Amino acid sequence: MKSHSIKISISCFVFFVSVMAFAQKDFQGKAYYESKTTVDMSSFGGGDMSDERRKEIASRMKSMFEKTYILTFNQLESIYKEEEKLDAPGGGDSRFAGMMSSFSAGPQYKNIKNKELLQDQEFFGKQFLIKDSLPQLDWKMEGETKQIGQYMCFKATTTKTVNTDNIPNFRRPSRGEETETEKPTTKDIEVVAWYTMQIPVNLGPDEYWGLPGLILEINADRTTILCSKIILNPEEKDVIKVPSKGKEVTKEEYTAIVKKKTEEMRQNFRGSGGPGGGGGGRR
């Protein structure tokens, strides 16, 4: 009990010292995150797809769900976007890669003062500007701590409702499935966050925010986001630009657009055996 109290006291001292150090007006930081999402391939393509074909598609999709993101932030705002990488020559099915990239999140801007969330999103050649309020996450502070790099981190948890329509589903439907009552397209997931009060900003990767320190790790359903590098007050500072291009839509409107397009793709893939065709394709 005594050691626990000492740990809290030290953490509070570190927090107040950090607040003073980060109070300068021109403060900026950059955090690099490795994001990995596992995909359940058990029903992918239906029962007619061979295990070999399913493994081939899983291998191709793996790189698309393992990405590096950069969070550029100050005390009140941030921009979170994928790190640009050169495509490897002969990188496989470009049509499939282009299709899957449409389901990748574009640059995301957060402003905690205005409680504003903006996302610059390209979806199948069309540009959208998704406008929303920052999600109100009901964080529960846990008693656990762990070290991530040189930073002492504290655990917090919350429950979040996610929309499954944003996840492409290309499995072949079973006979008579089209006439079934539409199933719910949302589900609740537990989110585990690890944040550090050594960097006292209320920001984090993706749409996560609202803790008394920068979030360095997120575990949510099948996705893990882990900070691998932090640069504080870089010599060359980036301008955090507010996204402004594209057709302005709400999150609900964009979800409806994704759902409609996903259903069209599902119909097109029916009988083809999955991305790239099931067989007899041109060489």
pLDDT for residue 102: 54
Distance, in Å, from the CA atom of 105 to the CA atom of 102, rounded to the nearest integer, reads 8
Q: List the Cα angle 185/166/227 in 5-degree steps.
A: 120
Distance, in Å, from the CA atom of 188 to the CA atom of 158, rounded to the nearest integer, reads 10
For the chain, give percent helix, strand, coil, nearest 5.
25, 35, 40
State which residues form the domain around 233.
Answer: 28-269
Q: Residue 11: inside a domain, yes or no?
A: no
Q: Residue 167: inside a domain, yes or no?
A: yes
Q: Residue 176: inside a domain, yes or no?
A: yes
Entry field: residues in the chain:
283
Q: What is the mean pLDDT of residues 27-52?
A: 78
- Scanning the chain, the segments in alpha helix (DSSP H) are 2-21, 51-62, 94-101, 251-269
The amino acid at 215: I
**What's the pLDDT band for 181 if we cut at 50, 70, 90?**
very low
Q: Residue 71: pLDDT above 80? A: yes
Q: What is the pLDDT of residues 229-276, one digit of tens each?
A: 999 999 888 999 999 989 999 988 998 888 888 788 777 765 555 554
Residue 230: enclosing H or E segment and its boundaries?
Answer: strand 223-232
Rounded mean pLDDT of the chain? 78
Structural domains counted in the chain = 1
Chain centroid offset of residue 258 CA: 16
Hey, how many other C-beta atoms are within 10 angstroms of the C-beta on 76? 14
Q: Residue 177: inside a domain, yes or no?
A: yes
Q: What is the mean pLDDT of residues 203-227?
A: 96
Q: Residue 133: inside a domain, yes or no?
A: yes
Q: Residue 45: inside a domain, yes or no?
A: yes
Q: Residue 1: inside a domain, yes or no?
A: no
Q: Residue 153: inside a domain, yes or no?
A: yes
Hey, how many other C-beta atoms are within 10 angstroms of the C-beta on 149? 11
Chain centroid offset of residue 84 CA: 16
**Under 8 Å between Cβ of 217 and 148:** yes
Residue 239: enclosing H or E segment and its boundaries?
Answer: none
Chain centroid offset of residue 15 CA: 27
Output 54 or 184, whichever has higher pLDDT: 54
**What's the pLDDT band for 281 if we cut at 50, 70, 90?**
very low
Q: Residue 48: pLDDT above 80? A: no
203 three-state secondary structure: coil
Distance, in Å, from the CA atom of 32 to the CA atom of 68, rounded to the nearest integer, reads 7
**What's the pLDDT band for 28 if we cut at 50, 70, 90?**
very high
pLDDT for residue 146: 97
**What's the pLDDT band for 167 if we cut at 50, 70, 90?**
low
State the pairing for strand pair 126-133/77-82. Answer: unpaired
pLDDT for residue 278: 47
Question: What is the 8-class DSSP label of residue 94?
Answer: H
Hey, how many other C-beta atoms are within 10 angstroms of the C-beta on 83? 11
Sheet holding 29-37, edge to edge: 140-148, 151-163, 186-196, 214-220, 223-232, 29-37, 66-73, 77-82, 108-111, 116-123, 126-133, 247-250
Q: List the Cα angle 106/108/114 in 5-degree steps.
A: 155
Q: Residue 3: pLDDT above 50? A: no
